[in-house]
Every structure is written in structure tokens, then in C-alpha cells.
């Protein structure tokens, strides 16, 4: 496994730690998220590590801590992963999680204890259980609200009737794709965990994901949201990348991770 390109800072000097979480236990329709972390690293190879907009070098900021290999018990795995991420958080390194299915966000949220969960996603992920599994990738927002006070879901365009009913409660804000460009964060000092499910992007831009949904966001819209939310964030992940395309989803995921780091460090 190669490191994320440019993530060359020593752990002692780094402000950000990249951690791969190749969990692929509950992925529906098209599996393959176990390949996500390596694939994101691979397709980030052409990226320059210098950011002209913020005049920063990625190599001064981030270290790649490698993967936390998944095993057959997702509950035990998420508990262990949370511990690994908590160590980085405690030592002053903001965790950058590479999925893996969206369920890995549960560990990231647990490690950072945010006030607000913000997710770019095609789906509400508000099932209490999906196909009999309370740790399905379709339950992530439900789990997030066990820790965070509220959730902001951007780019959503599909969900069950029960999920939409739950999304109508006061602790959930849904911003549909056509409204995302006009949305601006208002966190008032709250800490935020930012999760990017790559299926928030229209599948024309990121076909390599398990449950693609048409009429999604353009890459520049995802970038703008990541930049806007990053200054308030205590944790970040990009998830649901698989191996079912020519690298479009992985390249977008890797670039959004870079954009997050540069925007957060520039705050």
C-alpha cells in the first residue's frame, strides 16, 4: 500500500492524519468499497502538493497512518477504528478517514464528538435498520444523531417514506441538490464532523460507487461545500468509493480531501 501522495509530514509534525478504513460489510447493489482507500491514494498520484489559493504545501500538513484492516465483525471493527482515530484526535491530528462504506463514519464521529454532523450524500441514511442490520451504511445519520445535536444533509435526492418523515424533525436539515449552491454554513461556534459520500456527486462524475443516484451535484459544488465547512470541522471522511470505474470517483475523493486540508489549515 502506497501513502497518500504528499502526505509526508512526520506524525509528530502533522496536523492531519489519513487513515484508511476498507470496510465492505453492508454495501448494497455494487460492493467494492474495500478497495476505496488504496484506489483514492492511487488516483491522487498526479496531484500537485502545492495549493496556490492558500499558498500551502500538503507535505507540511498531513501524514498517512495507513489502513486499519477490516474484519468480519463490523461492531468490533468500528470500536477499534474509533480508538485509533481517537488517538490521533487526542494528539492534535485531525483524522481524515478514507472509506470504505459509509458505516466507518460512525467511528469518526465517535472519536471527535462533534456538535453537528454534515454530510454530502445522495441518500438520507436515516434507517434505524436496513435489511435487518443496525450497522448498515444506510443507518449512518441515525447513528450520527446519537452523538451530534443535529445533522445537515446536502445533496440528498432519495430516501424511504419513513426516512423522509424522520428528516422532517427539528434536528435534521435537508438541502436538496438544486439548493446546495445557495447554502451557507451557520455553525455559531459549533464543532462539525464532515462526511462526503462520493455518491453525492452525479454518477456521470463519479460512477465508481455502490448506489449511484442521478441528478446529483457537480464536483465544483462539492468542493465549495468542503471549503466552506472545513474551518469548523474536527473530523472528515470521504467514503463509498469502489473499483467500478476508471478512477473518476477516487480522483474526486482525493481532491476533496486535499481541498479540505488546505481550507481547514487556512482558517
For the stretch 85-131, pLDDT in tens is: 999 999 999 999 999 999 999 999 999 999 999 999 999 999 999 99
Predicted pLDDT at 2: 80
Residue 103 domain-assigned (yes or no): yes
Confidence (pTM) = 0.98
- Residue 189 CB neighbour total at 10 angstroms: 6
Residue 5 domain-assigned (yes or no): no
CA distance 198 to 209: 7
For the stretch 247-261, pLDDT in tens is: 999 999 999 999 999
Instruction: Please state, for a pLDDT cut of 90, what percent of the chain lies above it.
Output: 99
Residue 9 domain-assigned (yes or no): no
- Total domains in the fold of the chain: 1
Mean pLDDT of the chain: 97
Residue 2 domain-assigned (yes or no): no
CATH number of the domain at 51, please.
3.40.800.10
Helix/strand/coil for 154: strand
For the stretch 25-66, pLDDT in tens is: 999 899 999 999 999 999 999 999 999 999 999 999 999 999
Instruction: Please state, for a pLDDT cut of 70, what percent of the chain lies above it.
Output: 100
Residue 3 domain-assigned (yes or no): no
Boundaries of domain holding 150:
16-265
Residue 10 domain-assigned (yes or no): no
Residue 241 domain-assigned (yes or no): yes
Give the mean model confidence (pLDDT) for residues 209-221: 98
Residue 7 domain-assigned (yes or no): no
Q: For the purposes of burial, counting CB atoms within 10 Å of the CB of 36, is it exposed (0-12), middle (13-18) or buried (19 or more)?
A: buried
Predicted pLDDT at 1: 65
Give the mean model confidence (pLDDT) for residues 63-70: 98
Answer whether residue 163 shows pLDDT above 90: yes
CA distance 218 to 239: 17
CA distance 100 to 137: 10
Amino acid at each position: 500500500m502506497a501513502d497518500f501522495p504528499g502526505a509526508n509530514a512526520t506524525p509528530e509534525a502533522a496536523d492531519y492524519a489519513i487513515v484508511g478504513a476498507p470496510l465492505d460489510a453492508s454495501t448494497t447493489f455494487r460492493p467494492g468499497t474495500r478497495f476505496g482507500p488504496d484506489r483514492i491514494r492511487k488516483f491522487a498520484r498526479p496531484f500537485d502538493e502545492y495549493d496556490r489559493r492558500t499558498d500551502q504545501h500538503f507535505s507540511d500538513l498531513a501524514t498517512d497512518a495507513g489502513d486499519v484492516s477490516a474484519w468480519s465483525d463490523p461492531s468490533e471493527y468500528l470500536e477499534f477504528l474509533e480508538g485509533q482515530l481517537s488517538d490521533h484526535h487526542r494528539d492534535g491530528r485531525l483524522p481524515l478517514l478514507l472509506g470504505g462504506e459509509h458505516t466507518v463514519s460512525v467511528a469518526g464521529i465517535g472519536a471527535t464528538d462533534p456538535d453537528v454532523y454534515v454530510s454530502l450524500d445522495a441518500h438520507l441514511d436515516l434507517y434505524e435498520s436496513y435489511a435487518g442490520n443496525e450497522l448498515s451504511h444506510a443507518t449512518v445519520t441515525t447513528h450520527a444523531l446519537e452523538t451530534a445535536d443535529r445533522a445537515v444533509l446536502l445533496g440528498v435526492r432519495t430516501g424511504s417514506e419513513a426516512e423522509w418523515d424522520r428528516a422532517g424533525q427539528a434536528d435534521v436539515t435537508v438541502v436538496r441538490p438544486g439548493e446546495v449552491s445557495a447554502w451557507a454554513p451557520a455553525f455559531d461556534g459549533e464543532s462539525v464532523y464532515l462526511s462526503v459520500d462520493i455518491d453525492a456527486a452525479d454518477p456521470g462524475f463519479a460512477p465508481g460507487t455502490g448506489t449511484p443516484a442521478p441528478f446529483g451535484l457537480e464536483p465544483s459544488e462539492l468542493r465549495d461545500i468542503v471549503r466552506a465547512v472545513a474551518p469548523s470541522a474536527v473530523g472528515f471522511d470521504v467514503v463509498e468509493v469502489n473499483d467500478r470505474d476508471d478512477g473518476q470517483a477516487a480522483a474526486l475523493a482525493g481532491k476533496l480531501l486535499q481541498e479540505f486540508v488546505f481550507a481547514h489549515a487556512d482558517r
